[in-house]
Each structure stands twice: as C-alpha cells, then as structure tokens.
Amino acid sequence: MTPVSTAAIAAAGTLEDAADRQRFAMALSCAVLYSIVVELVVKHIWEQEHGRTAAYRHDVYSLFEQLKPETQSNVEAVYDKCCRAYESAIAEGQQQHGADAVAVDMADLKEALRWNEGAVRDLKYEMTPHGQSVPSGIFWSSNRIWVVPGNFPNFAIELTRWAAGRSFTNPAS
C-alpha cells in the first residue's frame, strides 16, 4: 500500500479521505498511461502497415479502422480476451464490494477506443473523469472508480505483447 503524506491528510481532513483521494488520483494516472500505451501501439501497427508516420492526433479509432481486416480481428481478439477476464473480475468485485460499488458498463472495442482518445486528450490535463472508462480495466462513474485487480489481464499490456510478437515482412503490403 502506498503511504499517504501528512499534507494530503491535512488537506483532506482524515486519513481515510486522503487515502481515497490518493487512490483515485493514482487510478486516473494509470488510466492516462494505459491509454497512451494503447494509442502508441495502435499507431505503431498502423505505421508498420502503411509505411509512413501516423498523424499527430489522438484519434485511435480512426487509425484502427484503417488497419487490415486481419489485424483488426487480431486486436479485437486480444480485447475480447481481456473483456472476458474483466467480466470475471467485475463479478468478483461485486461479490466483495456490492453491485453498486462495482457498477461497470463494458464497451465494444470501437467504443473503448473512442473512450481511450478522450482519456489521452482530457484526463492528462484536468484529471476529472466524465463517466467513461478506458479499455484497460479502469472503470469510473461520477463519484467512484474501480480498477480491475492486477492478477487479471490488462488490454494495454496484452496489446503490447501481441504487437511485439508480430512479424512484419513487408510493412506496406
């Protein structure tokens, strides 16, 4: 567990409030970092397939749509594998913390990539969630956040592993 600073406790009023704020901030930081990883990996795959540099934008969904159908299917398979694990983690979380505490809406990959764009673009500046989640197992609503436990797969990590294992014999084909 990460220690809570005395300044954070003083600002929050109680140790419990300070710890909650710190966990919330750490989860949002992870959401931004995972979202950046997803963006960079999708851009890398796009660049390998198209033989040129991707635009300097955060529109991961648009790049995903331009990938070869086989690549899209492979990325969707990685995401689906993670979603199945997330569903199991969500069920465990609901048993431990209650259905209201872990009220999660899963998105398909295309919607998740749109949310990913928002996380990269917005969360890194204002760190305020707007009722969306990233495809890497961090879910939030207006007043709470829930992170899939670390023993479950993470889409950003699994996508990176898959992309690293690919072999590109002719990037432009």
Q: What span, in angstroms and rounded, lies between the C-alpha atoms of 12 and 147?
A: 22
Q: Bridge partners of 130? A: none
Q: Give the closest residue to 127 by CA, choosing from 51, 32, 52, 54.
A: 32
What is the per-residue pLDDT for 75?
95
Pair 136, 14: CB distance under 8 Å = no
Residue-level pLDDT at 30: 79
Q: What are phi and psi of 135, to 5 degrees?
A: -75, 15
pLDDT value for 103: 64
Tens-digit pLDDT profile for the chain (173 aa)? 445 455 554 555 555 555 666 777 777 777 788 889 999 999 999 999 999 999 888 889 999 999 999 999 999 999 998 888 888 877 877 787 777 766 666 778 888 888 888 778 777 666 555 555 556 666 655 556 667 667 778 888 889 999 998 865 445 44
Burial (0-12, 13-18, 19+ Cβ within 10 Å), 166: exposed
pTM: 0.76
Specify whether the CB–CB gap between 36 and 135 falls below 8 A. Answer: no
pLDDT at 173: 46
Q: What number of CA atoms fall less than 13 Å from residue 98's CA on the CB side?
A: 2
CB-based contacts of 103, cutoff 8 Å, min separation 6? 141
